Structure 1
């Protein structure tokens, strides 16, 4: 499931300058959507690239032939100043609902905004979900129980967007019933809370890998080869690196160049990843050849505990360098290998801690990601492939 963060920025926030400050903070933090009034759509387009949902006015918005395309929202939302937010009483018979009628008449992506003021509003949200691409639910006295109910009942019919006011509430919404809400609608001016909520979204997207130890069986010098340095557009932490290897089933953890040395300054954005033929793991669990990487591609960054995140490649440097051949054996007896540059700055994670490849010895235990699968064009396949 792909999660998203919506930022509420309608006229309830304040005047345009107040709304603009909130939207700008959201853009800088990396929110996915902003929810505004229709009259602000064109102004938001001028601020930056973000998906825009707009509360519908009295009538469903219909594009005028001369109206600039930028004024058209990506989704229309009904419910403000109507039945959804309690301004107008809910009808006893939903077939007479003005909000639902407007929702059904809306062309293109549409959403319903519902404040959960009681059980009848849960029922109203369920009815709206039949036609809404996005069902925005904002809890009042009760938040978790209504959200659990709605996830269980309509979670497969619509994208549920849960109203929150903090990153902590967002984390809870993303985790509710293990499935969690598809998105959160954040209502705050605090830039720190906005950034933390985006971070909470990113954490839910991250894969966790079970890394294992393998025993070094061979470490030997070879000739020179074309070596690839992957320079990311992110600063990497001391315990982070990438998974690379000559065999897709066994990828070695190689540390980023975050450590200082007497001769070379640290490069905390760089992983000296090996020869051009080797695989590197990407954020979607696939692999790419190191030789294929270029600026703008995504790679997976992993730490020694198996926590992952994605990073953008800023630059790839390919140069001829002397190499080591590194072979290791898993607990199951499978042997995997890779080529790494013969240099003190290239380090791997061992049972004794961080160690340069130039100091590795047979019998050392190194960190590895192992999966007994075959791959074709980077994707898992069910077939027999021999790699040696």
Structure 2
């Protein structure tokens, strides 16, 4: 689960208390400071990270062969790292010897406060050092001087089997959102210096931006009819759909049908695994945060939900939407509670919807009694937002 640490070291003095209060209220995972007294005031719900700005001590010289080497901490447990009032001690390391010393401190018998390492990646040597740190330490905090995310990708790949957590320094909320998505896995955590309490709350919203598991319903087809020429929308996303994925589309905001992506073979044309032939331009489609868009509003950069036949969801971004005039077909269904769910799509065999178990169904071959997968919403809508008001759609 991704997390964030708030760095207080460069927050203006007049903003520190407000930022601390916001970090606690927003349940940030940790707060980093060089002020042990300040950290001591924080509740136990927050991980308190004390910054030791000096370099890590070098590892002890190797003992002659045949004798067991011990770090200073291992030789004398009383010298194990200890930082009263802190849960984690953060130390900088710049060499392999310093990293070895930090790792030895964490292994020491009777060790006190866990020791995390900070490394500034500026070249290949420090990049390799950061990879080694990610494998050896409970937390490795990395600042990347290079704005490209290639070095982060390298560390993520190298640290894939590691038990420790990787924390990446970011300079803004936009970079935070990017860092969390690198190589799909992303950094475990970020270290962020906010300019105000508002940025702490904005970061909290970013951390909570996950997509929900939906409870899909079985819909029974009542009727199908040709309704003539109209405008329909093809939604081309920037993602590859799975075979049992599509997007939810419906004529009414209270109910949607799971429209299949073009991941399955078609006659006369290649598959387009990024596309959903979604429906008529008036239709609703469901996006993140329980918000709907008309298909007429969907365009490059719009975020939608890809939905699987088991109800799993993920955020996908639209690269392009195509509006074209085509013959249309109206599909009317009802849910188990009798609720009407309607969908208007292009009247063509290659347009498909999904049935229970992810069964692929061509819309022109549907018959009364066939079962489709859909989603029933309890919210009425105003400009795409849920609202508690009377609204009847027919």
Task: Name 2:385's counterpart in structure 1.
Answer: 379
Q: Secondary structure at the match of 2:259?
A: strand
Alignment of 1:186-335 (within 5 A): 189-191=155-157, 193=160, 195=183, 197-198=185-186, 205-335=210-340
C-alpha distance in structure 1 between counterparts of 2:247 and 2:262, whole Å: 11
Offset of residue 120 of structure 1: 3.6
Task: Name 1:159's counterpart in structure 2.
Answer: none
Task: Name 2:367's counterpart in structure 1.
Answer: 361
C-alpha distance in structure 2 between counterparts of 1:246 and 1:298, whole Å: 19
Alignment of 1:98-109 (within 5 A): none
User: Which residue of 82, 85, 94 maps to 1:121?
Assistant: 85
Offset of residue 117 of structure 1: 6.1
Q: After superposition, give the CA deviation of every residue in 1:94-149 in whole Å (9 maximum; x if it has no partner).
A: 3xx7x889xxxxxxxxx973389669434799xxxxxxxxxxxxx968xxxx99xx
C-alpha distance in structure 2 between counterparts of 1:199 and 1:360, whole Å: 46
Equivalent residues of 1:229, 1:318 under 8 A apart: yes
Offset of residue 190 of structure 1: 3.5
List gaps (5 residues or longer) in structure 1: 7-34, 36-52, 61-76, 85-93, 102-110, 126-138, 148-163, 171-185
Residues 55/379 of structure 1: CA separation in 2 closer, same or farther (3 Å cut): same
Equivalent residues of 2:285, 2:293 under 8 A apart: yes
Q: After superposition, give the CA deviation of every residue in 1:217-270 in whole Å (9 maximum; x if it has no partner).
A: 011111011000011111111111100000011011001111112212111111
Q: After superposition, give the CA deviation of every residue in 1:38-80 in whole Å (9 maximum; x if it has no partner).
A: xxxxxxxxxxxxxxx6966xx99xxxxxxxxxxxxxxxx864x
C-alpha distance in structure 2 between counterparts of 1:304 and 1:200, whole Å: 29
Equivalent residues of 1:221, 1:324 under 8 A apart: yes
Residues 232/4 of structure 1: CA separation in 2 closer, same or farther (3 Å cut): farther
Q: Secondary structure at the match of 2:256?
A: strand
Task: Name 1:339's counterpart in structure 2.
Answer: 344
Residues 242/196 of structure 1: CA separation in 2 closer, same or farther (3 Å cut): closer
Task: Name 2:355's counterpart in structure 1.
Answer: 350
Cα RMSD, aligned residues only: 4.2
Q: What TM-score, normalized to structure 1?
A: 0.56
Residues 380/203 of structure 1: CA separation in 2 closer, same or farther (3 Å cut): closer
List gaps (5 residues or longer) in structure 2: 14-30, 42-46, 52-79, 90-104, 108-112, 115-132, 140-151, 161-181, 190-206
Residues 332/189 of structure 1: CA separation in 2 closer, same or farther (3 Å cut): same
Between 287-296 and 203-212, report the one with greater CA deviation. 203-212
Equivalent residues of 2:49, 2:88 under 8 A apart: no
Equivalent residues of 1:351, 1:364 under 8 A apart: no
Q: After superposition, give the CA deviation of every residue in 1:282-324 in whole Å (9 maximum; x if it has no partner).
A: 1111101000111111111111111111111111100001111
Residues 55/277 of structure 1: CA separation in 2 closer, same or farther (3 Å cut): same
Q: Secondary structure at the match of 1:189?
A: helix
C-alpha distance in structure 1 between counterparts of 2:343 and 2:279, whole Å: 8
Residues 119/289 of structure 1: CA separation in 2 closer, same or farther (3 Å cut): same
Residues 380/347 of structure 1: CA separation in 2 closer, same or farther (3 Å cut): same
